[in-house]
Amino acid sequence: MSVIYDKVAFIGLGLIASSMFWAGQRAGVVGHATGFARTQQTRTTARDIGLCDDIRDTLIETVLDADLIVLAVPVGAMKAVAQQIAPHLKSGCTVTDVGSVKREVIDAVAPYLPETVHFVPGHPLAGTEHSGPEAGFATLFDNRWCLLVPNGAASDAVERLGRYWRALGANVDMMDADHHDRVLAVTSHCPHLIAYTMVGVADDLRRVTDSEVIKYSAAGFRDFTRIAASDPTMWRDVFLSNKDATLEILGRFTEELFALQRAIRTGDGDHLHDYFSRTRAIRRGIIDAGQDTEAPDFGRRKD
């Protein structure tokens, strides 16, 4: 496959950016990749594992002459990063992000970018509960969706970014920012919040000690709460940035939960069976769509 971007700059070197680098190497679609992380420790780790062709110590050095800049930092940090890099961006380059909300990112980043730059927000629907540069692997995006928000950018810039994501293994679709945030409140944000809450409930039940929760964790508890190990800074920013959609979906969830409580209390087995049958069919649809693959513990470069 031919090179799509001569130079890609990754700002933030966690799971997503590191996986993008390894996937780009696998596909051979990036001429040169440079990276930056806020802490010296992360930059050192990235250098030690061979992440990117070079790791720079400043934001400005990282973005100079880059054709694609990937903002892979928490949503709350996007504005400050955009302000710093804006005067140093190459004319005609594309800026994208991998944040889990889109309206807040657009409002934070777009006002600071020059008119000669294409801003195409993005969101790969892939991840694990692990974080940091060592968490990345080349197959993370295979057969997963990446949603792009054209946001008025030139069609050729959007198409080029789409080709890049497809080369990384993803399926690509376009979506309006506000619709994206509402959809993700259902499919990602609220499930994470509920998982965090369930772990908190287990911790609060003093009748069940921490050791018993760990020792006797059934598969349901382990699988459901796995995502509660995700990066707390990222998820704090997600909920604060997408609060309206999240609160709306939580309200609907509460209504459904009350209905199930009533069915259990009144012994309405038919309602429970019908509800579980319907939701099982939805779950099977997720599996049939190929969106239920587990993250492997391999695939990243070890040298």
Which pLDDT tens digit goes with each residue over 8-47?
999 999 999 999 999 999 999 999 999 999 999 999 999 9
CA nearest neighbour of 104 among 146, 75, 81: 75
152: left (phi over 0), alpha (psi -120 to 50) or beta: left
Q: Residue 296: which pLDDT band, with cuts at 50, 70 and 90?
A: very low
What is residue 70's three-state secondary structure? Answer: strand
- Cα 111 to Cα 91, 95, 114: the distances in Å are 16, 13, 8
What percentage of the chain has pLDDT greater than the value 70? 85
d(CA 250, CA 237) in angstroms, rounded, equals 17
pTM above 0.85, yes or no: no
Q: Which domains does the chain have, with CATH numbers?
A: 5-175 (3.40.50.720), 179-288 (1.10.3660.10)
Rounded to an integer, the average pLDDT of 105-116 is: 96
Mean pLDDT, the chain, whole residue set:
86
Neighbours of 255 (CB within 10 A): 9
Q: How confident is the model at residue 94 (pLDDT cuts 50, 70, 90)?
A: very high
Which of 8-17, 53-62, 120-129 has the least mean pLDDT? 120-129
Residue 254 DSSP SS3: helix
The 10s digit of each residue's pLDDT in 210-237 is 566 666 666 667 666 676 777 777 778 8
292 falls in which pLDDT band (50, 70, 90)? low
| pLDDT digit string, tens, across residues 175-204 | 999 898 888 887 777 777 877 777 777 666
Rg, C-alpha atoms of the chain: 21
Helix (H, G, I), strand (E, B) or coil at 173: strand
Q: How many CA atoms within 13 Å lie on the side-chain side of 86?
A: 16
Q: Is-contact 14 51, C-beta < 8 A?
A: no
The reported pLDDT for the residue numbered 302 is: 34
- The confidence band for 81, taking pLDDT boundaries of 50, 70 and 90, is very high
pLDDT for 185: 81
Token pair of 281 as six digits: 């069919």
Q: How much is the average pLDDT of 156-178?
A: 96
- When pLDDT is cut at 50, 70 and 90, the band that residue 294 belongs to is very low
Cα distance between residue 63 and residue 36, in whole Å: 9
DSSP letter for 45, please. H
With CA atoms as reference, report the closest residue to 147 among 105, 103, 106, 102: 102
In 10 A of CB 1, how many CB atoms?
9
What is the band of 277 on the pLDDT scale with cuts at 50, 70, 90?
confident
Region for residue 268 given its phi and psi (left: phi exceeds 0; alpha: psi -120 to 50; beta: otherwise)? beta
Q: Are strands 145-148 and 122-124 parallel, antiparallel or unpaired?
A: antiparallel
